Amino acid sequence: MKKLLAGAAIALAAVTGTAQADGHANYPERPVMLMVSYGAGGATDFQARIVTMTAGNEDALGMPIAIINKPGAGGRVGWNWFAGQADADGYTMGAYNVPHFIAQSIEGGVSYSTDSFEPIANWGADPAVFVVAADSAFNSMSDVVGYAKENPGKLTFSGAGLFVGHHIAALQLEKAAGVKLAYIPNNKGGAGAMKAVIAGEVLGGVNNLSDAFRAREAGNVKILGVFDLERNDFLPDVPTLKEQGYDIDNASVNFRGVMVPKGTPQGVIDKLAATVPAMFENSRVASRMKAGGSPMHIMTRDEVLEMWAAREETLKELLAGL
Amino acid sequence: MEFIQYFGDVFVPFNFMLLMLGTVGGLILGATPGLSPTMAVALLIPFTFRLEPAQGLILLGAAYTSTVAGGAVSAILLKIPGAPANIATTLDGHTMAKKGQGARALQLSFLASAVGGIFGVFLLIFLTPVLAQWALAFGPSHLFWLAILGVTVIGSLDGGSVVKGLLAGCIGLWLSTIGFDDIMGAQRFIFHDSLAGGINVIPALIGLFAIPQVITMFAKGRSRLDAEVLEVERHPIGDAIREVFGRMRALSIGTITGSIIGLIPGVGGQIAGLVAYDQAKKTSPERDKFGTGHPEGVIAAESANNAMVGPSLVPLLTLSIPGSPTAAVLLGGLLIHGIFPGSDLFDNHPQVAWTFINSMLIGQVLMCIFGLYVAGLAARVAQVPNEVMAAVVLALAVFGSYSVQTSMGDVYVMAALGTGMYFLERFGFSAAPLVLGLILGPIAEANFIQGSMIANATSSVSQYFFTGALNLTLIAIVVLSVGYSVLMELRARRVVTTKDEAVAKEEALS
């Protein structure tokens, strides 16, 4: 019996030994968890479920990815948990939303920053757009800015909250156009902000391109401008803010992607960084995302690292005045 | 009348099977404390990936309908509301069950749910365009006044003392401020990471209702092992049907209140049952009997929470704006198939839209039939010995709280609130006003802040909140509601302070 136990112990040591030696070649050996810091049914959750649905395929991870929702406080609850309590073993991944988590870390009161996480890959980019009700008198951004110049501080427009992409876009517009606006954050997120525009509670609003596209299809809103560097495939007829003469870049674009906690073994990070972007490129994923009106934008780990750094710099500058 | 031509699709064998599956599954999920309708629908979304759009929506629609009604089972038998919508059902439903009328209460609740639910779906079918305009009419100032109307209900909600009701409501309002504030992101009363996201209503609901029950059961179980095994008298279904339609006032108040409140985006079904219960109580000549096991209380609450199901989907289906968390999940279920709610849905996918709506109609009927069957089995659930029941409820409470946001913090919150509530109940406070405060706090606060921000930018706060027909109407109802409560209080000079005394009083009356 003793011999048997000793043999088993040696065998076990050998197994763990090889696992460490070969740099996690067998990873992943069990299903992987993806933490989404927004509720089930929200845009981030919805897209995360689509882009990870092929994870179990042999050419992807070979193991399914399970979504775990940890919503609350505009994502802060989930990201706090992810930075502080998630196991850094590669079996716990998280979904990030930029600029949200970076802006929140600059604002303070949370226990994470860009240094707490290691990006793996980016799957989507949902630019902010400026919407007005279908019966509004405004037909271009210059109409909107003109009104704001005549009535300083009286142009009410809605967005999903403070320190999210919509708020960043609002700040950029104020700065670029040199006007004072009345940004009204909504407690029900993008959907609530959109309702405020359609119901005429506010004169306009910043909202997600995907939601605004749907609202325009339903005949409820006009879209006056895109807060991005280029026009979007979903809205080829809507000019960017830059085209309309306002110096606004893509700092407010809502980038969504996958990350792991700091301290995850480099071998695991490398393996994920190599396979995950390819997984996002699956044609089934692309067709589902397109059907749902969600713009895709796949970026590799290196590109995301660069994007995070650039975003942090812009946001620090923009939010310094608050 | 377009909907009639798509009725056949519901009865295709596979679709009908899905409908049955959604209904039965929904009843079971709904009866489990902690699994709210939103959760149930979200859990089912992945199953719809492989189905046709119409089939997927049949499953989701049936599950939504029956989880709302299923919550009544645990509300009546265990005094644990399955979801916020069922809080009002506990007030009279559980008292009825204590008196041995559990089967009757369940039958009444399912019949009332079906009547309310069918009315709500008919509103969705025939009046959608009109209702959509109505739903949009409620801006921040109106939602604020609506929440205040809810606050006025708090005091008169539970049979005992108005002062204690208001105090409990205030505790609830305070609890609702914990966490990052919704609009400005300010941190309030966060002394532990578990509270950063605020207190979620579902774990709070489970804790406040279930834990005091569990502690009581354990406490009694030691001394008297046979204590409080509920007797359930058989009750003929025919009598229940006659009774539901015999109490027309409660049924119609519940149905109409539920439909109106369900329609308003952002308020949803959470308070429909409570407001309907309060209205039914105030207009009833037998108002003293409410809270002591009066069938009208169950009928009003349950007809209201199912009547809200149909109208709550109006903003989603016509304007593509999800008006409630459940609607947001359904939106995901539609988008995954590339269908955009709004005119696109009714113009280009009428088969999907109408099959979905029809399945909710048939779902109400199926839900009622299965529910009545379940009511017959209630006797067995109620005869489980106390200590076993307490253990099962405790396990469900932990499981339910954890599963909402996969967070152990929610379990701590549930346990802490529940233990606190056990002691509060000893002093004659009750859980329902506390939960109502927790639900109404964020609605009142967020809408006041948004309203005042808009007001400051455009006109003045007083002009924004005190002018306009809808504002004035709501203010008038608030004043009437307060005045009526004060009047009743002065006239009755109620001496009843605890629920046991209320029960004693009811026994003396009958």
Query: Using one digit for the tens of pLDDT, what is the confidence trace for A68-96?
Result: 888 888 888 899 999 988 999 999 999 99
Residue the block writes with tokens 């309708």: B37
As a whole number of Å, the end-to-end CA separation of chain A is 71
Hey, how many other C-beta atoms are within 10 angstroms of the C-beta on A131? 29
Residues A165 and A221 in one domain: yes
β-pairing, A204-208 vs A254-261, is unpaired
- At residue A6 the predicted structure's pLDDT band, cuts being 50, 70 and 90, is low
Please report how the helices B350-382 and B102-137 are oriented relative to each other, as an axis angle in degrees rounded to 10: 150
Pairing mode, strands A182-185 and A156-159: parallel
**Backbone phi, psi, residue B178, to 5°:** -65, 140
* Model confidence pLDDT, tens digit, residues B279-292: 888 888 887 888 88
- Name the pLDDT band for A18 (thresholds 50, 70, 90): very low
d(CA A290, CA A282): 13
Predicted confidence band of residue B160 (pLDDT cuts 50, 70, 90):
low
Mean pLDDT of B370-387: 76
ipTM of the complex: 0.82
> Per the structure block, which two tokens stand in for B115?
């009547």
CA angle in degrees (0–180, nearest 5) for A57-A60-A64: 60
- Domain of A115, CATH number, reads 3.40.190.150
pLDDT score of A21: 42
The C-alpha atoms of residue B428 and residue B277 are separated, in whole angstroms, by: 21
Contact B37/A at CB under 8 A: no
Distance CA B467, CA B447 (A): 16
A181 part of a folded domain: yes
B482: confidence class by pLDDT, cuts 50, 70, 90: confident
Asked if B363 contacts B16 with a C-beta cutoff of 8 angstroms, the reply is: no
On the question of pLDDT at B416 being above 90, the answer is yes
Look at B492 and A166; give whichever has higher pLDDT. Answer: A166
Are the beta carbons of B450 and A186 separated by less than 8 Å? yes
In a shared domain, residues A114 and A134: no
The pLDDT of B10-24, averaged and rounded, is 90
Band of residue B422 on the pLDDT scale cut at 50, 70, 90:
very high
At how many degrees (to 10) do helices B102-137 and B248-263 cross?
40
| Cα angle, residue B94 at apex, residues B93 and B95 outer, rounded to 5° | 95
pLDDT at B379: 61
Which residue, among A162, A180, A159, A287, has the nearest Cα to A227 in the 3D structure?
A159
Give alpha helix (H) positions in B79-200: 87-96, 102-137, 140-156, 162-176
- Give chain B's domain count: 1
Q: Are residues A43 and A120 in the same domain?
A: yes
Judged by a CB distance cut-off of 8 A, whether residue A185 touches chain B is: yes
At B231-278, the pLDDT tens digits run 677 778 888 888 888 899 999 999 999 998 888 876 766 788 888 888
Which is higher by pLDDT, B184 or A231? A231
Lookup: tokens for B222? 């030691």
Report pTM.
0.84
CA distance readout (Å), B137 to A198, B130, B257, B449: 10, 11, 17, 18
Q: Check CB contact of B343 with chain A, cutoff 8 Å.
A: yes
Q: How confident is residue A262, by pLDDT bands cut at 50, 70 and 90?
A: very high
Residue B394 CA, chain-centre distance (Å), reads 22
Give residue-wise pLDDT tens across range A208-244: 998 898 888 888 899 999 999 999 988 999 999 999 9
DSSP state of B97: I
pLDDT of residue A15: 45
Taking only the tens place, the pLDDT of each residue in A282-319 is 998 898 888 878 889 999 999 999 999 999 999 999 88
- Domain boundary (A226, A261, A284) is at A226
Yes or no, beta carbons of B406 and A218 under 8 Å apart: no
HSE toward the beta carbon, residue B271, CA cutoff 13 A: 32
Find, among B43, B165, B9, B65, the residue nearest to B365 by Cα: B65
The arithmetic mean of pLDDT across residues B126-143, rounded, is 84
Share of chain B above pLDDT 70, in %: 91
What span, in angstroms and rounded, lies between the C-alpha atoms of A55 and A58?
Answer: 8
Q: Which of A201, A209, A221 to mutate to test the interface with B (most CBs of B within 10 A)?
A: A201
Of the residues B193, B320, B334, the best mutation for testing chain A's interface (the one with the most A CB atoms within 10 Å of its CB) is: B320
User: What's the farthest any 2 CA atoms get from each other in chain A?
Assistant: 90
Residue B324: name the closest of B63, B32, B45, B64 by CA.
B64
Distance from chain centroid for Cα B456 = 35
pLDDT digits (tens, 9 = 90+) for B82-102: 788 888 898 899 888 888 888
Nearest CA in chain B to A198: B136
Closest CA to B378 of B108, B20, B113: B108
pLDDT for the residue B159: 58
Helix (H) or strand (E) holding B420: helix B408-426
Q: In this structure, are residues B219 and B390 in contact, taking their beta carbons and an 8 Å threshold?
A: no
CB B156 within 8 A of CB B281: yes
What are the two backbone dihedrals, phi and then psi, of residue A61, each rounded to the nearest 5 degrees?
A: -80, -25
d(C-alpha A1, C-alpha A14), whole Å: 20
- Quote the minimal CA–CA distance from B355 to chain A in Å: 20
A12 pLDDT higher than 70:
no
Q: Higher-confidence residue: A233 or B1?
A: A233
Q: Which of B335, B341, B446 sits opposite A187 (nearest CB)?
A: B446
In this structure, the number of other CB atoms found within 10 A of the CB of residue B30 comes to: 29
Residue found under tokens 């400051």:
B456
Written as one letter, the residue type at A141 is: M
Stretch B416-433: mean pLDDT: 91
The domain in which residue A265 lies consists of: 28-126+253-319
Cβ–Cβ < 8 Å for A128, A167: no
Question: Is there a contact between A107 and B337 if contact means CB atoms under 8 Å apart?
Answer: no
In chain B, the N- to C-terminal Cα span, in Å, equals 49
- Among A45, A53, A72, select the one facing B196 at the smallest CB separation: A72
Statement: residue B476 has pLDDT above 90: yes
pLDDT per position as a tens digit, B459-474: 888 889 998 899 999 9
Q: Indicate which of A214, A234, A287, A294 best probes the interface with B, i.e. most B CBs within 10 Å of its own CB.
A: A214
**Alpha carbon distance A278, A273 (integer Å):** 9
For residues A98 and A114, give the distance between their C-alpha atoms in angstroms, rounded to a whole number.
10
- The CA–CA distances, whole Å, from B267 to A1, B135, B197, B323 equal 67, 11, 20, 8
pLDDT tens, B186-209?
Answer: 888 888 877 878 898 888 988 999
C-alpha–C-alpha distance, residues A311 and A157, integer Å = 24
DSSP assignment of A2-46 equals: HHHHHHHHHHHHHHHHHHHHTTSTT--SS-EEEEESS-TTSHHHH
Candidates B405, B459, B471: best to mutate against A (most CBs of A within 10 A) is B405
Residue B46: give the domain boundaries: 2-509
User: SS3 for B303?
Assistant: helix
Flag whether pLDDT at B12 surpasses 80.
yes
Cα–Cα–Cα angle for B470, B474, B476, nearest 5°?
115
pLDDT at A229: 94
User: Running DSSP on this structure, what letter comes out for residue B84?
Assistant: G
* Chain center to CA of B358: 23
CA distance A30 to chain B (A): 20
What pLDDT, in 10s, does the model give residues A91-149?
999 999 999 999 999 988 888 999 999 999 999 999 999 999 999 999 999 999 999 99
Chain B (430-459) residues lying within 8 Å, Cβ to Cβ, of chain A: 442, 446, 450, 453-454, 456-458
pLDDT computed for residue A94 by the predictor: 96
Res. B74: pLDDT tops 80: yes
Q: Identify the pLDDT of residue A160.
A: 87
pLDDT band of residue A1 (cuts 50, 70, 90) is very low
Q: How far apart are CA B308 and CA B295, in angstroms?
A: 20
Count of CB atoms within 10 A of residue B454's CB? 23
- More confidently predicted of B289 and A1: B289
DSSP H/E element including A131: strand A128-133
Chain A contact set for B46 (CB, 8 A):
49
pLDDT digits (tens, 9 = 90+) for B18-34: 999 999 988 888 887 77
Helix (H) or strand (E) holding B358, with range, is helix B350-382
Domain's final residue, options A211, A226, A241: A226
How many Cα atoms occupy the beta-carbon half-sphere of A56 within 13 Å? 7
pLDDT at A17 over 60: no
Q: At what angle do helices B237-246 and B102-137 cross, to 10 degrees?
A: 40
Q: Which residue has the higher pLDDT, A9 or B380?
A: B380
Q: How far is CA A113 from the centre of its chain?
A: 15
Q: Is the pLDDT of residue B337 over 50?
A: yes
For residue A153, list chain B residues with Cβ-Cβ distance below 8 A.
Answer: 457
| Pairwise CA distance, residues A255 & A47, whole Å | 12
Q: What pLDDT does A187 receive?
A: 81
Q: Which amino acid is present at A227? A: F
Instruction: Tell me the residue ranges of DSSP E strands in A140-253.
Output: 156-159, 182-185, 204-208, 221-226
| DSSP string covering B183-201 | TT--EES--SGGGTT---H
Q: Is residue A67 part of a domain?
A: yes
Contact A148, B417 (CB under 8 A): no
Instruction: Look at chain A and report how many structural domains it folds into.
Output: 2
Which backbone phi and psi does A75 adopt, to 5 degrees? 100, -15
Kindly state the tokens that stand for A203: 């004169």
Tell me how far the alpha carbon of residue B300 is from its chain's centroid: 12
Percent of chain B at pLDDT exceeding 90: 20
What's the pLDDT tens digit per position in A137-187?
A: 999 999 999 999 999 999 999 998 888 899 999 999 999 999 999 999 988
Q: Tell me how far apart the alpha carbons of residues B149 and B154 are, in angstroms, rounded to a whole number.
A: 9
Average pLDDT of span A22-34: 80
- The DSSP result for A40-107, as a single string, is TTSHHHHHHHHHTTTTTSTTTTSS-EEEEE---GGGHHHHHHHHHTS-SSSSEEEEEEETHHHHHHHH
List the structure tokens of B57.
């929506």
How far apart are the C-alpha atoms of B45 and B34, rounded to whole Å? 18
- DSSP class of residue B231? P
Averaged pLDDT of chain B: 83
Name the minimum distance, in Å, from the CA of B395 to any CA of chain A.
Answer: 21
